[in-house]
């Protein structure tokens, strides 16, 4: 007996399209255990023993690697101008190949406006200057001696999901391309307030211009209020030193704020009285609205979710039991609720949230589902603790100029065909 053999007529439905009550999780797990016990004894005796159970294995190694059979689990590389400007490069996390909530460090997304620098940690330093009582510089060696904090937070590029935002027809690609400029990490580092207080911020110092040590010295103006409340100088990700892609040896972390502000390879914090309108806050990270005006300093990311299992480019393995699973997050704090629809939005059922639900962090949701083999559309819709609800695509598009692809957080519908193909669609 397999889960797919469970009699559909006996199931407790939560909404249309085959969404099941969350109690179904326990019931089906119990059924699986019972089935395992019922295997006939003869089958065990005759089972073929695989070769890896009959030889000595490989020796220990200094740094682990994924299983060889998983070598296809890679970031999707996007190079918008690969011939003329290859250093402007991105890579997206393959969410459809991962479960849980923490993104493996080697699969964390990248966006580099000028390429990934090769930094000598012994020569790198952090400068703190401008409207402060004591301009200071810190070596990595000195920073390592500071008290550190650990927190799990998502990072999302303001341009995440850009293809869904602007392409006239839905692009058929995986979650790595469609929503991959999003990752979730356990960060460890020094509260920025500790360093700022050591330098002594003057009362007129209301903003900080952070700059990286990369070729273009990417710079952003950051409100002092944010920096002092939960800003972090991150030195470690998921327990190890930052990867070069993530700003080795140090980066700024501003929980919930658009990725571009979390300056990588951080080398300078310049305290000023007002924002300085850097290139990124003047042009690239502003959004043109439907009326032609623009919004700027739209720092926090909105409430958002998408289903990772199943998702586009996947193929269903026949009718029967599945667990729908996906990710939800909000820059405004915690996710309050995620609803799932299996009938294109006609009815919704509340999904289970895997705890702990952390602020400004990815939260995994799930709901059991019995697919009867007919075509339908799956969707997820997140609500955050401020009451903000993920919008439909048409509502999001109506707010903005047609060219805008930033801060796209609309509902993601996945169409499942009668053949079991999962496709990206607009609804």
Partner 1 sequence: MSIFKLTAAALLLTAAAARAEGPGLGQPLDAAEIPFYATYVKPDGTGLPAGSGTAAEGAEIYAAKCASCHGKTGSEGPVMPPVGPNDVWAKPAGRYWPYATTLFDYIRRAMPLEAPKSLSDDEAYALAAYILERNGVIEAETAMTAETLPAVKMPNHGNFLDVWAKQGAKPW
Window 58-117: residues binding partner 1 (CB under 8 A)? 81, 84-85, 87-88, 113-114
Query: Scanning the structure block, which residue is given the tokens 């011939």?
Result: 83
Q: Under a CB-based contact definition with an 8 Å cutoff, are residues 126 and 110 in contact?
A: no
The alpha carbon of residue 113 and the mean position of all alpha carbons in its chain are separated, in whole angstroms, by: 19
Under rule CB under 8 A, which residues in 327-386 are in contact with partner 1?
330-332, 386
CA 155/CA 147 separation, integer angstroms: 23
Asked whether position 123 contacts partner 1 by CB under 8 A, the answer is no
Torsion of CA 161, 344, 388, 164, to 10 degrees: 10
| Strand 266-272 versus strand 125-130 pairing type | parallel
Identified binder of partner 1 from the candidate list 32, 66, 106, 283, rule CB under 8 A: 283
Under rule CB under 8 A, which residues in 381-410 are in contact with partner 1?
386, 388, 401, 403-404, 407
Shortest distance, position 110 Cβ to partner 1, whole Å: 16
Closer residue to partner 1, CB minimum distance, 174 or 191: 191
Closer residue to partner 1, CB minimum distance, 1 or 276: 276
- Which residue stretch of 23-31, 152-160, 219-227, 369-377 sits at the interface with partner 1 (rule: CB under 8 A)? 219-227
Closest CA to 246 of 350, 110, 420, 410: 110
Closest CA to 380 of 334, 419, 349, 403: 349
CA 90/CA 112 separation, integer angstroms: 6
- Which residue stretch of 68-76, 90-98, 140-148, 313-321 sits at the interface with partner 1 (rule: CB under 8 A)? 140-148
Asked whether position 150 contacts partner 1 by CB under 8 A, the answer is no
Asked whether position 17 contacts partner 1 by CB under 8 A, the answer is no
The alpha carbon of residue 397 and the mean position of all alpha carbons in its chain are separated, in whole angstroms, by: 22
The alpha carbon of residue 91 and the mean position of all alpha carbons in its chain are separated, in whole angstroms, by: 12
Identified binder of partner 1 from the candidate list 16, 102, 198, 323, rule CB under 8 A: 198
Q: Which residues, 6 or more positions from 145, have their beta carbon under 8 angstroms from its beta carbon?
A: none
Identified binder of partner 1 from the candidate list 25, 31, 102, 127, rule CB under 8 A: 127
Asked whether position 279 contacts partner 1 by CB under 8 A, the answer is yes
Closer residue to partner 1, CB minimum distance, 28 or 217: 217
Shortest distance, position 147 Cβ to partner 1, whole Å: 6
The alpha carbon of residue 92 and the mean position of all alpha carbons in its chain are separated, in whole angstroms, by: 9
Identified binder of partner 1 from the candidate list 28, 172, 286, 313, rule CB under 8 A: 286
The alpha carbon of residue 249 and the mean position of all alpha carbons in its chain are separated, in whole angstroms, by: 22
Closer residue to partner 1, CB minimum distance, 80 or 355: 80
Shortest distance, position 316 Cβ to partner 1, whole Å: 34
- Which residue stretch of 53-61, 124-132, 167-175, 307-315 sits at the interface with partner 1 (rule: CB under 8 A)? 124-132
CA 23/CA 25 separation, integer angstroms: 5
CA 30/CA 10 separation, integer angstroms: 15
Asked whether position 249 contacts partner 1 by CB under 8 A, the answer is no
Identified binder of partner 1 from the candidate list 224, 303, 410, 422, rule CB under 8 A: 303
């Amino acid at each position: 007996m397999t889960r797919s053999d469970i009699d559909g007529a006996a199931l407790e439905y939560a909404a249309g399209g085959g969404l099941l009550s969350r109690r179904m999780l326990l019931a089906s797990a119990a059924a699986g255990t019972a089935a395992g016990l019922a295997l006939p004894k003869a089958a065990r005796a005759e089972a073929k023993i695989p070769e890896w159970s009959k030889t000595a294995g490989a020796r220990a190694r200094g740094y682990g690697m994924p299983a060889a059979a998983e070598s296809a689990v890679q970031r999707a590389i996007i190079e918008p101008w690969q011939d003329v400007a290859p250093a402007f490069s991105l890579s997206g996390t393959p969410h459809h190949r991962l479960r849980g909530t923490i993104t493996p460090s080697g699969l964390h997304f990248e966006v580099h406006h000028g390429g990934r620098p090769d930094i000598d940690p012994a020569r790198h330093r952090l400068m703190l200057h401008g409207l402060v009582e004591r301009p200071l510089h810190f070596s990595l060696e000195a920073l390592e001696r500071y008290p550190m904090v650990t927190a799990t937070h998502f990072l999302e590029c303001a341009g995440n999901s850009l293809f869904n935002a602007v392409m006239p027809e839905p692009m058929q690609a995986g979650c790595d391309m469609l929503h991959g400029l999003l990752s979730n990490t356990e960060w460890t580092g020094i509260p920025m307030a500790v360093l700022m207080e050591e330098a002594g911020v003057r009362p007129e110092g209301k903003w900080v211009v952070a700059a990286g040590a990369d070729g273009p010295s990417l710079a952003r103006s950051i409100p002092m209020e944010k920096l002092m409340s939960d800003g972090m100088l991150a030195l470690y990700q998921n327990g190890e030193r930052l990867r070069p892609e993530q700003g080795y040896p140090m980066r700024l972390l501003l929980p919930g704020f658009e990725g571009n502000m979390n300056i990588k390879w951080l080398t300078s914090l310049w305290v000023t009285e007002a924002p300085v309108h850097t290139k990124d806050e003047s042009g690239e990270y502003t959004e043109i609205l439907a009326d032609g005006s623009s919004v700027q300093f739209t720092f926090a990311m909105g409430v958002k979710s998408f289903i990772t299992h199943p998702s586009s480019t996947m193929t269903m393995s026949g009718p029967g039991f599945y667990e729908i699973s996906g990710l939800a997050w909000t820059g405004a704090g915690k996710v309050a609720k995620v609803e799932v629809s299996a009938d294109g939005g006609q009815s919704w059922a509340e999904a289970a949230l895997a705890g702990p639900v952390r602020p400004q962090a990815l939260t995994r949701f799930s709901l059991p589902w019995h697919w009867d083999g007919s075509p339908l559309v799956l969707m997820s819709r997140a609500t955050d603790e401020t009451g903000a609800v993920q919008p439909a695509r048409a509502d999001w598009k109506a707010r903005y100029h047609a060219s805008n692809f930033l801060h796209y957080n609309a509902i993601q519908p996945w169409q499942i065909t009668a053949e079991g193909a999962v496709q990206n669609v607009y609804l």
